[in-house]
Amino acid sequence: MIMFSFTSFSRCQRLVNKPILTLLRNFHKEPIPVAWEKPEIGWTKLNFDGSCKGRAGKGSIGGIFRNHKAEFLLGYAESIGRTTSTIAELAALRRGLELVLENGWNDVWLEGDAKTLVDIIVEKRRVRCAEVQRHVSDIISIIPEFDNCMITHIFREGNRAAHKLAQLGHQSQKPQIWRRIPPHQLLQIMHEDAEGKIFFRRR
């Protein structure tokens, strides 16, 4: 058996070998299956997403509500001007919560692909940025108004419908809301979500 003493290698040699070792480690990791899931009967599920493009930081938001049959209930998309990706994600969720209240839904599942923000809200953490904290505080203050509410993280592959709406928001001159009938750009994604299509995400 041949054994290598990495401690005796030069710094240059370590830099050469590090990508190879990382590649070997990643090669053996199983990919993560990702799929959108339907809510329980009586629950409404919101998938939300924020987007920020270019150096100017042009932001937009989007979200989609579906029931236990994966049927489209409502969607929204809106350009929100110059901002950051963090604020865009929070604004997308906040707008979604406003629509939950307007429509009288009481059992709500909230899902987004920004894991850090989901964790901040679930754990009610405080953050240093005043603008971010303001949005977080507003969201946390709204959630107790529902009978039941849960918030979860999903990888982007399971949040494609919300992502598509956020992209449509960049093209919108004014806020858009769709009720019962979704924009045609969502039809294929919604069909695949309803069928439980699984994507495999590399670790």
Return the beta strands (E) in 16-147 as ranges.
32-34, 44-53, 58-66, 72-82, 107-112
| Alpha carbon distance 154, 47 (integer Å) | 9
Do 109 and 45 touch, CB atoms closer than 8 A? yes
What global pTM score does this model have? 0.85
Q: Which residue has the higher pLDDT, 9 or 151?
A: 151
99 to 20, 108, 154: CA distances (angstroms): 49, 11, 21
**Would the pLDDT of 9 be above 80?**
no
* Residue 19: predicted pLDDT: 56
* Residue 202: predicted pLDDT: 87
| Alpha carbon distance 144, 196 (integer Å) | 31
Grouping H, G, I as helix, E, B as strand and the rest as coil, residue 96 is helix
Backbone angles phi and psi of 65, in degrees to 5: -110, 130
Assigned token pair, 157? 């592959």
Chain segment 16-55, per-residue pLDDT in tens? 345 555 555 555 678 999 999 999 999 999 999 999 997 7
**Would the pLDDT of 129 be above 80?**
yes
pLDDT band at 105 (very low <50, low <70, confident <90, very high): very high
Q: Residue 150 is inside which H or E element, if any?
A: strand 148-153
The torsion of the CA quartet 132, 126, 124, 34, rounded to 10 degrees, works out to 60
- What's the chain's average pLDDT? 89
Chain segment 47-99, per-residue pLDDT in tens? 999 999 977 689 999 999 999 999 999 999 999 999 999 999 999 999 999 99
* Residue 27: predicted pLDDT: 54
